[in-house]
Every structure is written in C-alpha cells, then in structure tokens.
Structure 1
Amino acid sequence: MLRPVRPSGWWFDAVLLAGFAAVTLALVWRTPLLDLDLAVRDLVDAHRPGWLDTTLRWCNRLGQGGQVLTPLALIAAFVMARRRHTVRPFLLVVGAFALTYVTIGPLKLWTDRLAASEPTDPHPELLFHAEQGMSYPSGHVVNAIVWYGVLAALLTGVLRPGLVLAIRYTVPVVLLFTTTYLSFHWLSDGLAAILLGLFLDRVLQRVPWDAVPLGRIDRAGWGVPFFGAPGAGQTQAPARITR
C-alpha cells in the first residue's frame, strides 16, 4: 500500500506535471516567458557586485548533488541505520538517486538549452537550440527539493521540527535565487525545477519503504521498520530496538 502524502490524492501530482509541461510549452512557443527570462538575466548581470557574487557562489554549492547532497544523505542514512539497527534508511537514498538520475539528466539532454550566462550564442534562451545546452530544468533546484526532503525524512525525530522544515524548504528557495542571480540558469529553469522537484519528492514519499522485502537482511534483524506514517514528507521515529 502506498504511503499517504499531503495534499492527498493524485490531483496535486497532475497539477505539478501540467505546470511543468505548461512552462516547457511556453518556452517552445516563444511566449512572454522568454522575454521575462531575458529581462531578469539582463537585470541581474547589471547589478552583481563582486562580494555578493562570491557569497552566492558558495551558497550555490548547497545544490550540488554528487559533491554535497548525496554524501550528506549517505552519512545521515548511515548514522540512522546504526542508531535504529536497520538498513531501510539507505532504501530512500538509493531511490532518490535513481529517480533523479533517470529524470534530470535526460530532460537536460532533450531540451538542449544553454545557460543564461552563455556569452557566444545570440539566442541562448531558446529550447531545442544547442546540442551542448544542459540548462533546463535547473538540476540544483531539483536536487535541493529532493535531497533535502530525503535529509528531512531521515532526521525527523532527531532534529527539532522547525529545523527539519528549514532544511526541507529554505534551501530550495535559496538555490532558486542563487542560480538565477548568478545567471547559471534562467528564471524559468528554476520554476520548472520546482514543479518537477515537488513531483519527484511526492513519488519518494509514497513509496512504502518499510514494506520492501529484504530477504536475508530481514532475517538477520537489520530490516526493521524505520519510516512511520508520513506527514508532508516527514517520518515518525520508530521505537528503539534493543538487542
């Protein structure tokens, strides 16, 4: 049985996917969204002092999947696995890695959009324009939503609820701002990434990780449940297992 999410039902998932499709089509059909992308790019390029540029580049590292987020998730999963005597925290990490791998990269390769900072192309804002383009959607923003959601799920019951919410929602907002302000991505790259990231996050929330059969691992006592009934992507800490 799938785990419940908030908002409940599949209607919100459909809204997210429809929104992602709408943003994509708006870019393909050269609607005013492209003009907005160009206006935002020109505005931030003209108002980016050196000290702020340096600061935001460091903040932008919070969205690096392979160098920051995956290692953090693995460390959190290892700590919680040892603490609760179960390998099930790693299932969520593996699921998140697989889901982001089969979605973000292929979409970037398919849409062929250059970065907002591309200086040598007269129309870098266009989709399906340059084979070397990999800007759409913003991988940093998608990673932030998915991976900080993973961290929040793993650390619920250990950290204060307010800190869990901050981890889950604050960093994606920071990444949306930094990637746009630094012209690493167009504004619409980030907007599409929010819609895609929330959808992927809900997919991960729905998976009944505690019900996945683990065979010998279960029989060895390392497959006890870890994820309780979720609320908005969070988990309840199970009782400590004594041996």
Structure 2
Amino acid sequence: MRETTRVRGVPRPVRPAGWWCDALLLAGLVALTVALATGHLFGVDRAVADWAQAHRPAAAYWTAVVFNYLGQGSPLTLTAAGLGVLLAVRLRSVRPVLPPVVAFALTALTIGPLKVWTARPAPSASVKEPYLTPEQTLPLFQHDLPVRFAQSYPSGHVANAIVWYGVIALLLVPLLRTAGRRMPPRVVTVVRVAPPLVVLFTTTYLGWHWLTDSVAGLLLGLLLDRLLRRVPWDRVPLPGRLRAWDRPFTSIT
C-alpha cells in the first residue's frame, strides 16, 4: 500500500475550481431567501405543490416515502461515522473520523439555525397540525408558530443528503482500497449525486417541502460539500496524544 503526500494546509482541489462557485451558491441562497421574504415565488411553490397533490396515488406516495429515507440525517450520520471508525481501525489513524465529526458540526450549525430563523411551514401544514390556510403556509418568518410547525426552509433532507453522501464517498474509496479493491470514479459520482436528486424530488413530491425549500437545500448542501471537500484531511494538525494514530487516508493509492 503506497501513500502519497500533500503540502500541509493546502486546500484539496474541487470542481469547478475557485471560490467563485462557492460565492455563486451563497448568492443564490441569499437571493432566494430575499425573494421569498418579500413574497415572491409563492405562485411557483403553490403550483408545484398542487400538481403533486393531484398526482399522488397511493403506490407513488409510498414509493416516494421509501426513497425519501435516503435523506434521513441520523442514519446517514451513523453510517458515515461507522465507516470512519472502521477505516480508522484498519489504518490505525484518527484522521478518517475527522470528516464525519466536522460534517456533523457544520450541518448542525447551519441547517437547523436557518430553519428556526426563517420559520416557514411546510405545504402539509394546511392539512394537518397546525391546520393553516393554504395562504398562511407560504410566507417565511412565522415566529408566532411553534418551532416544530415552522422548519421547512431550507430542506434539511436535501442538504443533509448532499453533505453526508459526499462524506460517505470520501471514506468508501480508501476503505475499499485497504481491502484491495477499487471504487470506479463513475460509482463515486453516482453515490454522491443520485441520492440527493432522489431526495429532492421525493421531498417536494410528497408535500413535505416547497420546491423553493428543496432548491435552498440544494444550494446550501452544495456549498457545505465544497467546503468539506477542500479540507486537507491528511494534513490537519492533530493534538500530541493523537499523533500516535496519525496516518493519511485520502491519499492512499
């Protein structure tokens, strides 16, 4: 097993390269939030939600429910953590545990607070508690509602799916290499892309989120994913006690 080295502190490459893409994603999220805060795009959200409700037979509904589990944050977190621990034991290195820990902290500090701050109900809030009128389910900043009824924007399912499947792919590649196997780049791409797209569709189709909630989750998730992919995991400084378990994992070839 051969190991390559990287310069300490140098960010890992991402595609598209450069910070302009990150700035564009952030600007898109801000612009979308401002548009919704000023009452725009409600017609699009309502039209998509109404169409989904009118084209949701039982078979399609339950199929979408099953596939939507691909975006459940807790199972994804545990899966990524388990892969990190397994790889850490195999390599006798603490470094594979770092991506799940940092991803958990990053998502906890962004997705949840944004949901609470924007305080938007889901489309389904008009057919179950708190039984709002259809018009009342659309606006942001409804802080008079209990928090549990106003956490739709942005979609945590979509954002979590992008972040966690990115971490899972990051860990699967070296884990398979320690077993003498190779994960083809196309498979890595499928792992990273397919589940988030399925979650984006299903969460909107089921009426659990507005279309703009899912788009916001997409923008936020891509931004967080790019930040995580830039981290030079093999060169992050470790405290003295952890240096005994200090071997690279992303550069295993």
2:49 alignment partner, one of 41, 47, 66: 41
Q: Distance in 2 between matches of 1:23 and 1:54?
A: 30
Q: Which residue of structure 1 aligns with residue 103 of structure 2?
A: 96
In the aligned structure 2, how far is the partner of 1:173 from the partner of 1:199? 16
TM-score, normalised via structure 1 length: 0.89
Query: Which residue of the partner structure matches residue 14 of structure 2?
Result: 5
Match of 1:76 in 2: 83
Q: What is the rounded CA distance, in whole Å, between the counterparts of 1:167 and 1:8 in structure 2?
A: 21
- How many angstroms does 1:84 deviate by? 2.4
Q: Structure 1 residue runs of 4+, over 3 Å off?
A: none
Determine helix, strand or coil for the equivalent of 2:123: coil
Match of 1:142 in 2: 159
Alignment of 1:9-20 (within 5 A): 9-20=18-29
User: In the alignment, what sits opposite 1:21?
Assistant: 30
Sequence identity percentage: 52
- Code of the residue aligned with 2:236 in structure 1: it is V
Q: 1:223, 1:115 → 2: CA distance? A: 45
Distance 1:193 1:11 in 2: 19
Alignment of 1:82-121 (within 5 A): 82-119=89-126, 120-121=131-132
Question: Residue type matched to 1:151 in 2?
Answer: I
Q: Distance in 2 between matches of 1:100 and 1:150?
A: 12
CA displacement, residues 119-166 of structure 1 (integer Å, 9 cap, x when unaligned) = 111220111124330000000000000000000111125233222111
Q: Residue type of the partner of 1:147?
A: W
1:167 is aligned to 2:191? yes
Query: What displacement does 1:4 show?
Result: 2.2
More helix by percentage: 2
Paired position in structure 1 for 2:172: 155
Shift of 1:211: 1.6
* Larger RCO (CA within 8 A; separation ≥ 6): 2
Counterparts of 2:45 and 2:124, CA distance in 1: 12
Residues 181-208 of structure 1 deviation map (CA, whole Å, 9 limit, x = unaligned):
0000000000011111010011111112
Taking only aligned residues, the RMSD between alpha carbons, in angstroms, comes to: 1.3
Distance (Å, rounded) in 2 between the aligned partners of 1:63 and 1:55? 14
Q: Does 1:217 align with 2:242?
A: yes
